[in-house]
Amino acid sequence: MVRPESADEVSKYAMRTLRAADALGKLPTPMDDLLAAAKIGNLQIDEEAKENFSARLIGAAKNEFNLMWERIRGIADLRKRIIYVDENTTLPRILFAKGHELGHEVLSWHYLDPGRFDDEKSLTEEAEEIFDMEANFFSAEVIFQGGNFTRLVRDYNVGFDSIFHLADMHGASRHATAWRYVEEQDESVALVIYWPSRFNSEILRRGKVVASPNFLLNFGDIDLPEQLDPGHSWMAAQASNLVFGDMISLTCGNVAFRFEWEAWWNGYGLLVMLRRKPKLHFVRDLVDKVTIASSS
Ligand SMILES: [Zn+2]
């Protein structure tokens, strides 16, 4: 999730929308209540909706709309205050798409265009991209309920099990939950995704990295592998639905540090979480070992 420059402003709108629906603390976020409270109509995308929308567009916009027809996941009709969402997909995607279109409707500065349509990436104008980034951020804010998620995260152990649990709790995808979860950690935690190489699917190439504020502060110059070959220990998790974990040494600057790692294959890419154990835990581990040694 890329945070737009307007993140603070978007957060305020998200919180206001949650409060208006009396939805704060209700999980998963009752998105239909939010729509009702904001007086936004909510319809499914079907052929008729698409044709009606297409008929209102002219010139290049009409051509573009018709070309991306199959990939459209949601439409926000700002003039009629109705959103249309493709419900022929997974529940987390439906929830996210509804939140996204609701974002276009309630973020007041999005009212430049009479209508808006969304697909994966064919909107090219800079303003459209910014609006979409803002709508994505709005959706994540209403789904994770801003600071509520931050407080919740502190009650859970660091690991993918917690992420999976929190994802179910919020009706969000595990992938989206993972990014948000890492950003909110007090400890030094980072998440890295590795994607199969286009040229050799046995090799994974490094993609996006997200880190907690403490990780950035202490290990911002960590030397992460650019690519993972089949023999790398993290690769054990590929093509499995289990979470694998162990310890690994990675260098930051010229110094090697030990990190706990967990790896999980999400079906498309390998998510690797790195965690520098807080010092307190090292002390406790040592005490445990001493206790065991003295009692044997
Ligand atoms: Zn959009």
Residue-level pLDDT at 69:
77
User: Which of 112, 51, 54 has the alpha carbon at shortest distance from 79?
Assistant: 112
User: Which of 168, 153, 149 has the alpha carbon at shortest distance from 95?
Assistant: 168
Residue-level pLDDT at 133:
92
CATH of the domain at 195: 3.30.450.130
- Whole-number Å distance, alpha carbon 105 to ligand 1 midpoint, is 10
Which residue, of 112, 145, 178, is where some domain finishes? 145
Residue-level pLDDT at 201:
82
CATH of the domain at 120: 1.10.10
- Whole-number Å distance, alpha carbon 118 to ligand 1 midpoint, is 5
134, pLDDT greater than 60: yes
- Whole-number Å distance, alpha carbon 104 to ligand 1 midpoint, is 7
Enter the tokens of residue 22. 């009396």
55 domain residue, yes or no = yes
- Whole-number Å distance, alpha carbon 80 to ligand 1 midpoint, is 16
The reply to whether 95 and 214 lie within a common domain is no
Task: Give the chain's domain count.
Answer: 2
Q: What letter would DSSP give residue 131?
A: H
Neighbours of 111 (CB within 10 A): 12
Question: Cβ-count burial of 157 within 10 angstroms (0-12 exposed, 13-18 middle, 19+ buried)?
Answer: exposed
In angstroms, the Cα distances linking 77 to 69, 73, 102, 220, 264 are: 16, 13, 10, 43, 39
Which residue, of 95, 126, 145, is where some domain finishes? 145
Regarding predicted confidence, which is higher, 280 or 131? 131
- Domain extent at residue 235: 186-283
Would you give the distance in Å from CA 193 to the centre of its chain?
12
The reply to whether 132 and 199 lie within a common domain is no
The reply to whether 24 and 92 lie within a common domain is yes
Q: What is the pLDDT of residues 72-126, one digit of tens each?
A: 888 888 888 999 998 888 999 999 999 999 999 999 888 765 455 555 444 446 7
